[in-house]
Amino acid sequence: MSRRPGKLRLGLSLQHAGYHAAAWRLPEVPRHANLDWQYYLRSAQAAERGKFDMIFFADGVAVRENLDDREVLARTPSVVNLEPLTLLSALATHTRHIGLVGTASTTYNEPYHIARKFASLDHISGGRAAWNLVTSWSLGEARNFGRDTPLDYDSRYARAREFARVVHGLWNSWEDDAFVEDKQSGLFFDPDKLHVLGHQGEHFSVQGPLNLSRTPQGRPLICQAGKSPAGQEIAAESADFVFTADHSIEDGQAYYREVKGRLAQHGRHPGQLLILPGVVPIVGRSEQEAQDKFGRLQELIDPKIGLSLLALLGDLSAYPLDGPLPPIHDYGEMASVARLIEQRARKDNLSIRQLYQAIAASRGHRTLVGSAEQVADDLQAWFEAEAADGFNIAAPYLPGAVDDFVDLVIPELQRRELFRREYEGTTLRQNLGLDYPEHPRSTPTHADH
Amino acid sequence: MSRRPGKLRLGLSLQHAGYHAAAWRLPEVPRHANLDWQYYLRSAQAAERGKFDMIFFADGVAVRENLDDREVLARTPSVVNLEPLTLLSALATHTRHIGLVGTASTTYNEPYHIARKFASLDHISGGRAAWNLVTSWSLGEARNFGRDTPLDYDSRYARAREFARVVHGLWNSWEDDAFVEDKQSGLFFDPDKLHVLGHQGEHFSVQGPLNLSRTPQGRPLICQAGKSPAGQEIAAESADFVFTADHSIEDGQAYYREVKGRLAQHGRHPGQLLILPGVVPIVGRSEQEAQDKFGRLQELIDPKIGLSLLALLGDLSAYPLDGPLPPIHDYGEMASVARLIEQRARKDNLSIRQLYQAIAASRGHRTLVGSAEQVADDLQAWFEAEAADGFNIAAPYLPGAVDDFVDLVIPELQRRELFRREYEGTTLRQNLGLDYPEHPRSTPTHADH
Ligand SMILES: Cc1cc2nc3c(=O)[nH]c(=O)nc-3n(C[C@H](O)[C@H](O)[C@H](O)COP(=O)(O)O)c2cc1C
Ligand SMILES: Cc1cc2nc3c(=O)[nH]c(=O)nc-3n(C[C@H](O)[C@H](O)[C@H](O)COP(=O)(O)O)c2cc1C
C-alpha cells in the first residue's frame, strides 16, 4: 500500500432535505427544498469551505418506492428530485474547488450520452466531474424503460462492463493537444490526433468519435458502489473511487483488501482506487448535544414509515408503538433478514418505535452520534486500520449537518494532520491525489489505464 | 389569427464561435471558445440585455461531418461542442429572464430521460426551459447508437410522435399542488394528486410517474423544426414554437399558413404555435460597415471548406478560385440541387470563390447584411405579412454580432413598437404570450392541450 495517500478523502452525499428520512420535517428546512438548486448550493459551498473533496448526488430514474402503498409513499420525500447532471452543472459555476459526482445508470442509458454529458460537465467545471456508475436494481426503473422486470444481475453487469469500456474509449477520441485552432492556416484540429473508436461489442456498437474534446481531468473520474464480485470487478477495472457501506471495521478491512487486491490483474496499483465507506454523522459540541439533535430527528419519523421498515416482521399496526415487539410467528420470504431485525429488538429490549428508529436512521450506513472528537476518533481508526481511504459523509439534514461537520469535525481532523487545510490542485483528480491518465495515442479498445 | 401576439418574438441561436463557418478565425474569438461556458454566457447576457425571448443551442450526438475527408474535417469547428443541457443549466443560474432552448433527439433517447432533464432545467431556471425536438437524420448519429444507417424517415417520425406524447404525460405525473409537505402531519404529498402514466404504446412502455414535480411553466416548452408534413404534424400536435428556414416571404407565408392550419384538428388555436424563421444578421452603423464586416468573414472561409460545399458540382480544385465556374458535365445523384447551385453562379456571374462564399454564409438561413433600419425593415415586412411571429437570430460570430444586434436593431424594433422594452413575465411561456397548461387532472394518455 505504498502509494496510499497520507490524508483522508472526504465526499459529501446530498439528497432530498438530507439523508435522514425525516429531515424535511425539521422546521428550518424550507418547503420544496429538493427542487431548489440554491438549497443545495448552500451545502456545496459549506463543503467547499470545509475543503471537502466532492459532493455526491445519488439518483434513480423512477419513483423507486412501492406505488401501490400510497399511505407510505405519500410520506416519502425521495419521490421527486432534480436530475443530477443539470443540478451539478448549475452548482459547478458557483463553486471553484469541489468535485461534482453524479449518478447515471448503465442499464437505461447509451454510452455516448454518458460520455458526452460527463465530459461536458468536466469542461464546464474546469475538471471536477465524476460519474457514479450504477446498474439500477429497481422494478420502478425497469418499468419506465420498457421492461416488466429489472434486467437480471449478470446481464446488467456484463452490459455495465462493456458500457464503461466504451465510455473510456470515447473520452479518448481526441488527444490532449488535438485542437491547434490555427487561425492563420485555417486548421482547426490536427487530424492525426483524432482517434475513431469503432467499437463493436456484444451490447454496443459505437463508432465515435465523441463530439467533445479530452477534458481537463484527461477524463471525468468514475465512482462505483458495487458490493458483489461483479460490482467489485467493474470498480477494479474502471473506477477511481468506490462508495461502500460496511458496519464493522473488520468488514471494512476485508472489503478494502478484497477490492484493492483486484487491481493488479488490471495493471493498476492500490493507490489508483480509493475506498470511501459511508457514514451519517450527527455532531454536537458535546455528546449530549449530538444525542439531542439525533433524538429530535428520530422523533419526526412517521410511524407509518417506521412500520413499513418493519414490514418483514408482519403487520405490527395493531400493537402499541412504545410497547415491546410481539412474538413473531411467520418470518415470511426473507426470514434471515427478518430474524436479524428481531434479534436487534430482543437484544436491547427495544420498543417497536425504538426498533424502527434504529433502522430508519442508518439506512445502510453507519450513524455516528457524538462530539467532534468522538466522530474524528472513529474516522481515524478506520483510516489507520486500512478499512478506508476516506469517507462518504451522508449529511442527515441540509445544510445544518454540513455546517456542523465543517465547523466541528474538520478542524479536529486538521489538528490531527488527517485532512488538508488547503486544496492541493485545481481538479478533483489532483485533490484526490490520482494520476493524470496519459492518452494511449492509438485507437483505444479498452479502459485507458 | 385573432390571438396573434402584437409584438414579435426573438430567439438567439448560439453555436461554436458563431453561425458563420469561419467565425472561429476572427482575431477576437478566443481559442477553445466552444468549450467555455463563460464565452456563451457573454452572448446570453447580451441577449438578455436586448430582451430576447430565448437562446437556442442546436445539437447532434455525433461528429456529423464526413469522417473520411480529413482535410475538410480538420477545418470544421463544429466537431466538438458542449452538451446543451449541462451548458444551459450553467447559463440558467447567471441569467434571470431569458429562455433556454436545448436540442435532444427522439431517435436516440428514451422519453423518461428527456422528460426529467428538461423538467429539471425548468425548475433550476425558474420556468425558462424548452426542448428542441429533433429526429436526427445523420449517419454519424446512427453509428454511435448501434445502427449502420439512420432510421428511415417514417419510423423516426412515428417514434417521435409517441415520444412527445409520453413526455407530455410524464410531465403531468403530479398536479401543480400535489406537494403539500405538511410537516405537522408528515404528509409529503397528496396521493390523489399523483397520476401514474401507465403508457403502453408501439415504441414505448413507460409506467411513470416522473420523479420530478410539475414545473414552473406547467411543463417545459417544446420547439420543433420539421419541414416535412410529418414534421409539421408533430409541431401542430406537441410544439409551442417552430424554427424554420424559408427564403422568400411568399414561401414563408405559405409555410406559416400551412402549419397554423394544422392546429385546429388538434383542438388548438393559431396563437398557440409561434413560427420563427431563421435569419443571419450582419449589422453595421451603415450598409457599408455591414458589408465590410461581412466581407471580412467571407474572406476567412477556407477554400477547402468552400470547395467541399460545391462538391455536388464535381471536383473543382483544378480551377482558379477567382475564375468562373467551368462547364458542368456530370450533375451526379443530386442533380436538382446541383443545377440550382450552378444557376446561382451563372445568373450573377460569380467566381468559384464568390459562389462558395454565398453558400457558406447562409447555410440554409437568410443572411441579412445592412444597417439597423434595413434589417428591421425586412423583419417587419415578414412579421406584418404573416410569414413569421418572430425570428430565430443566428448570430454569425459571438459575442460581437449579438452586441451589434442588441445595440442597433433592437432599439430600432422598439422604436417601431415591434418589440418589448421590458420582459412581460418571469417564465419563457409568459414572455412568449403562451397560456399556462392546466393539469388535465386525470391520467393523461396524450398531449396536454
Ligand atoms: C453509497 C452508495 C451509493 C449508491 N448510490 C446509488 C445510486 O445513486 N443509484 C443506484 O441506482 N444505486 C446506488 N447504489 C447501489 C450500488 O450501485 C449497488 O447496486 C449496490 O451497492 C449493490 O452492489 P452490487 O450491485 O454489486 O450487488 C449505491 C450504493 C452505495 C453503497
Ligand atoms: C433552425 C433549425 C434548427 C435545427 N436544429 C437541429 C438540431 O439542432 N439538431 C438536429 O438534429 N436537427 C436540427 N434541425 C433539423 C430539423 O429538426 C428537421 O430535421 C429539418 O428541419 C427537416 O425537417 P423534416 O425532418 O420534417 O424533414 C434544425 C432545423 C432548423 C430549420
Q: Tell which one of B57, B82, B88, B227 to mutate to probe ligand 2, the residue whose CB is within 8 A of the most ligand atoms.
A: B227
Question: Is A157 marked as a binding-site residue?
Answer: yes
- Three-class DSSP category at A73: helix
pLDDT of residue A447: 47
Which residue do the cell numbers 433527439 mark?
A: B105
B181 and A89 within 8 Å at the Cβ level: the answer is: no
The secondary structure element, H or E, covering residue A394 is strand A390-394
Mutate to test the interface with B, among A68, A80, A108 (most CBs of B within 10 A): A80
Structural domains of chain A, ranges and CATH numbers in brackets: 9-287+366-431 (3.20.20.30)
Which residue's alpha carbon is nearest to atom 27 within ligand 2? B228
Query: Which ligand does the CA of B244 lie closest to?
Result: 2
Query: Which ligand does the CA of B136 lie closest to?
Result: 2
The secondary structure element, H or E, covering residue A400 is helix A400-404
Residues 6 or more apart from B81 whose CB is under 8 A from it? A211, A212, B15, B16, B34, B59
Q: What is the pLDDT of residues A135-168, one digit of tens each?
A: 999 999 999 999 999 999 999 999 999 999 999 9
- Asked if A77 has any chain B CB less than 8 Å from its own CB, the reply is yes
Which residue do the cell numbers 401507465 mark?
A: B198
A179 and B302 within 8 Å at the Cβ level: the answer is: no
Query: Which ligand does the CA of A133 lie closest to?
Result: 1
Residues 6 or more apart from A75 whose CB is under 8 A from it? A302, A304, A305, B186, B187, B188
Residue A226 — pLDDT band, cuts 50, 70, 90? confident
Residue A5 — pLDDT band, cuts 50, 70, 90? low
| Parallel/antiparallel/unpaired status of strands A54-57 and B274-284 | unpaired
- Asked if A79 has any chain B CB less than 8 Å from its own CB, the reply is yes
Nearest-angstrom CA–CA distance, B244 and B236: 14
pLDDT of residue B309: 86
Question: Is A103 marked as a binding-site residue?
Answer: yes
> Residue B91 C-alpha to ligand 2 middle, in angstroms?
23
How wide is the angle at C-alpha A114 spanned by C-alphas B78 and A271, nearest 5°? Answer: 115
A85 and B80 within 8 Å at the Cβ level: the answer is: no
From the list A41, A50, A49, the residue with the least C-alpha distance to A14 is A41
- Asked if B348 has any chain A CB less than 8 Å from its own CB, the reply is no
Index of the ligand 2 atom closest to the CA of residue B138: 11
Q: Is A231 in the pocket of ligand 1 (CB under 6 A)?
A: yes
pLDDT of residue A449: 42
Which residue do the cell numbers 485507458 mark?
A: A448
Q: What is the pLDDT of residues B271-316, one digit of tens each?
A: 999 999 999 999 999 999 999 999 999 999 999 999 988 988 989 9
Please name the residue of chain B whose CA is at the shortest distance from the CA of residue A203. B146
- Asked if A381 has any chain B CB less than 8 Å from its own CB, the reply is no
B120 and A87 within 8 Å at the Cβ level: the answer is: yes
B129: which 3 cell numbers? 426551459
From the list B348, B347, B349, B329, the residue with the least C-alpha distance to B338 is B329
Q: Which residues of A touch B89 (CB under 8 A)?
A: 85-87, 89-90
Contact status, residue B126 vs residue A37, Cβ threshold 8 Å = no
Residues 6 or more apart from A362 whose CB is under 8 A from it? A280
> Residue A144 C-alpha to ligand 1 middle, in angstroms?
19
Helices B352-362 and B287-299 cross at an angle (nearest 10°) of 110
Contact status, residue A195 vs residue A406, Cβ threshold 8 Å = no
Q: Is A221 in the pocket of ligand 1 (CB under 6 A)?
A: no
Least confident range of A87-91, A92-96, A225-229, B425-429 = A225-229
Nearest-angstrom CA–CA distance, A158 and A427: 31
Closest residue to B207, CB basis, from A143, A204, A206:
A143
Pocket of ligand 2 (CB under 6 A): B 58-60, 103, 132, 134-137, 225-228, 231, 243-245, 278, 392
Q: Phi then psi for B423, rounded to 5 degrees?
A: -65, 140
Checking if the pLDDT of B443 tops 60, the result is no
What percentage of chain A's residues is helix, strand, coil (to nearest 5)? 40, 15, 45
- Asked if A124 has any chain B CB less than 8 Å from its own CB, the reply is yes
- Asked if A182 has any chain B CB less than 8 Å from its own CB, the reply is no
Nearest-angstrom CA–CA distance, A431 and A438: 18
pLDDT of residue B429: 98
Q: What is the pLDDT of residues B91-122, one digit of tens each?
A: 999 999 999 999 999 999 999 999 999 999 99
- Three-class DSSP category at A223: strand
Q: Which residues of B touch A198 (CB under 8 A)?
A: none
Q: Which residues of A touch B124 (CB under 8 A)?
A: 37, 82, 86-87, 90
A395: which 3 cell numbers? 449529511
CA distances from B189 to A39, A76, A79, B87 (A): 20, 8, 9, 32
> Residue B64 C-alpha to ligand 2 middle, in angstroms?
13
Which residue's alpha carbon is nearest to atom 16 within ligand 2? B225
Q: Which residues of A touch B199 (CB under 8 A)?
A: none
Nearest-angstrom CA–CA distance, A244 and A239: 13
B120 and A86 within 8 Å at the Cβ level: the answer is: yes
Helices A229-238 and A153-171 cross at an angle (nearest 10°) of 0
Please name the residue of chain B whose CA is at the shortest distance from the CA of residue A145. B206
Index of the ligand 1 atom closest to the CA of residue A244: 31
Q: What is the pLDDT of residues A241-292, one digit of tens each?
A: 999 988 899 999 999 999 999 999 999 999 999 999 999 999 999 999 999 9
Residue B4 — pLDDT band, cuts 50, 70, 90? low
Mean pLDDT computed over every residue of chain B: 94
Residues 282-301 of A with CB under 8 A from B: 300
Please name the residue of chain A whose CA is at the shortest distance from the CA of residue B104. A113
**Higher model confidence: residue A247 or residue B443?**
A247
> Residue A245 C-alpha to ligand 1 middle, in angstroms?
9
Residue B186 — pLDDT band, cuts 50, 70, 90? very high
- The residue-averaged pLDDT of B254-268 equals 96
Contact status, residue B277 vs residue B391, Cβ threshold 8 Å = yes
pTM of the model as a whole: 0.95
User: Torsion angle of alpha carbons A104, A106, A111, A116, nearest 10°?
Assistant: 10
Checking if the pLDDT of B6 tops 90, the result is no
Please name the residue of chain B whose CA is at the shortest distance from the CA of residue A37. B124
